[in-house]
Amino acid sequence: MKKISTRLHAAHLLMALTLVLLCCMASAQINPYQYTINKMANGSKGAVSSAHPLASQVGLEVLKNGGNAFDAAIATQLALAVVYPGAGNIGGGGFLVAYTNKGKAISIDYREKAPGSASRDMYLDKDGNPLLNLSQNGHLASGVPGTVAGLFASHKYGKLGFAALIQPAIELAEKGFVITAAEARSLNGSKSAFEKYNTVRPAFVKEKAWKAGDTLVQKDLAATLSRIRDNGMKGFYEGETARLISAEMKRGGGKISLEDLKNYTAAERDPIIFDYKGHTVIGMPMPSSGGLLMQQMMKMIEDRDIASMGFHSPAAVQLMIEVERRAYADRAEFMGDKDFVKVPIQTLSSDAYLKERMKDFIPGKATPSDMVKPGKVNPESDETTHLSVADQYGNVVSVTTTLNGGYGSKTVVGGAGFLLNNEMDDFSVKPGVPNMFGAVGKEANAIAPGKRMLSSMTPTVVLKDKKPWLVVGTPGGTTIPTSVFQTLVNIIDFKQSSLDAVNNPKFHHQWLPDQVMVENDFPKSLQTSLEKMGYLFTNRGQIGRTEVIKLEWNGKKVKSIEAVADKRGDDHAAAY
């Protein structure tokens, strides 16, 4: 357990204690003015792992109060929208992958959509040059938010009333919470962007620099959340909140209309399900590339004995880099919203295709990306956040949700207090032009009204012996699928603990640019061995913030639940 540096000043402490005594937090156990960070927690009745201690605690309280994993996932997401504004959201979108104690695999798509007046070339100037500032910042960068619809779509699997799930978030917004050193740094780093891209000064801007222990109060956000509590989905997609969004769009030149909001729906979809060495992996289908990329990468290594090569051996890492390269070449060419384009999923995931894909793999030698074109298929038919939840009944829920970049478009809806996403940049604004993650795309991911932009989010559930075993996911833009891939291979093939699997240094290859991105602590000797094979490296600082929950079973009953939170941030594991 690491004490965070949000120790309160004496006066602040007095005020905090008074507030704690006076106010009746829905969850009496949670003190938003002083909290610690746990990286690992064990229990047998329930667990939540998320990007923020207060959000994980909110989820755990819901489980203790009789809610199931779906309830806890909803409450945790809502709390993250308050305490982790860089990525937690109600103005963005996300995906949920779950497995119920009735044996049902579920995926819910609440990805943002392009507004009705969006057009294919909306981010090109008259000479056809990309205007990436517009797809990445400010009002025009936002897709129609999906998160609130997703929370209500998930709620049909929950047990508690929605009001009980949203109340902790309302109170955190209304009464405030102390921020961590990381949050203070992050808010200070975005101050000039907040000043530039807002028409109304948001709660995130103050004269003096933020510091650890300051209290962030978000009254407008509390009012918006209260409207959702009182009016359900209409509290966001219609009425006052919709009016405020539409007015903000008009002031700042954005495209989201009242009609776009009213028409937004989440979609329950058939998850991607495949076997890997006797385990069943359940992943997110299009419009996320995550599930299919996982299937491609895992299947391309399945018949090779990667365990005997050794963890972080040059041979094992080279193999993983090469399958990452090949899968991402397919992502760029073929993947997009399958409600709009034909994605040849059957071919891309077939054993024969993936075997063919590996035919030009040469152990000990890099395959240049310009030799790895997308595969032949016959016409056929950084900032995001993840939470993993498990309950004592055997339900598990894996949710990844996003505003896209840190604080999304940086635009807060005036009077409504929440940030809007900059998810439009996940479309291919022009074939071959890299987005903010350096990823390229083509026709399959071109902009069209009402279309969902391709995602990399990879909320994942793994079954062992037909029972939920692992609940995994991470933020990280295009690095998400490769981080989840490596975490699973670390656990399944290299027999690592969840903690080691999460914290060990990650690497990433996405076809283009033809470079291996690595974390600061990626072993230098390993890098040197791979450079000799022809690989180019670039340092990426940190990759992902992975949250893993692992369950053990005693027959039909959950025996133990272990929650792990990534060392890379304020991420917090809670269990009981």
Q: Does 87 bind ligand GLY (CB under 6 A)?
A: no
Q: Give the nearer residue to ligand GLY in terms of CB position, either 246 or 487.
A: 487
Number of residues that bind ligand GLY (CB under 6 A): 9
Smallest separation (angstroms) from ligand GLY to the CB of 103: 29
- First-to-final CA distance of the chain: 16
Q: Give the nearer residue to ligand GLY in terms of CB position, either 86 or 314.
A: 86
Maximum CA extent, the chain: 69
For ligand GLY, the binding residues in 366-395 under the rule CB under 6 A are: 384
Q: Give the nearer residue to ligand GLY in terms of CB position, either 235 or 476.
A: 476
- Phi and psi torsions of 419, nearest 5°: -80, 145
Q: At what angle do helices 69-83 and 53-64 cross, to 10 degrees?
A: 150
Which position among 384, 402, 474, 482 bears the catalytic label? 384
Binds ligand GLY (CB under 6 A): choice among 296, 398, 455, 460: 455
Q: At what angle do helices 162-175 and 219-231 cross, to 10 degrees?
A: 170
Q: Does 280 bind ligand GLY (CB under 6 A)?
A: no
Q: Rounded distance, CA 224 to CA 168, Å?
A: 14
Q: Rounded distance, CA 274 to CA 466, Å?
A: 12
Binds ligand GLY (CB under 6 A): choice among 404, 411, 445, 486: 404
329 bridge partner residues = none
Beta carbons within 10 angstroms of residue 367's beta carbon: 17
Q: Does 409 bind ligand GLY (CB under 6 A)?
A: no
Binds ligand GLY (CB under 6 A): choice among 67, 213, 477, 569: 477
Q: Give the nearer residue to ligand GLY in terms of CB position, either 43 or 473.
A: 473
Closest residue by beta carbon to ligand GLY: 455
| Tokens coding 462 | 């793994």
237 and 262 Cβ atoms separated by less than 8 Å: yes
Q: Does 71 bind ligand GLY (CB under 6 A)?
A: no
Q: Does 426 bind ligand GLY (CB under 6 A)?
A: yes
42 and 549 Cβ atoms separated by less than 8 Å: no
Binds ligand GLY (CB under 6 A): choice among 135, 385, 398, 456: 456
Q: How many CA atoms lie within 13 A of 274 on its CB side?
A: 21
Binds ligand GLY (CB under 6 A): choice among 388, 402, 483, 546: 402
Q: Where are the beta strands (DSSP E) in 405-523?
A: 460-464, 467-473, 507-508, 516-518
Order of all β-strands in the sheet with 557-565:
40-43, 557-565, 547-554, 467-473, 460-464, 279-283, 272-276
- Is residue 402 part of the annotated active site? The answer reads no
Q: Which stretch binds ligand GLY (CB under 6 A): 363-371, 449-457, 535-543, 567-575?
A: 449-457
Q: Give the nearer residue to ligand GLY in terms of CB position, either 172 or 272.
A: 272
Binds ligand GLY (CB under 6 A): choice among 79, 457, 489, 561: 457
Q: Does 460 bind ligand GLY (CB under 6 A)?
A: no
List of residues contacting ligand GLY (CB under 6 A): 384, 402, 404, 423, 426, 455-457, 477
Catalytic residues: 384
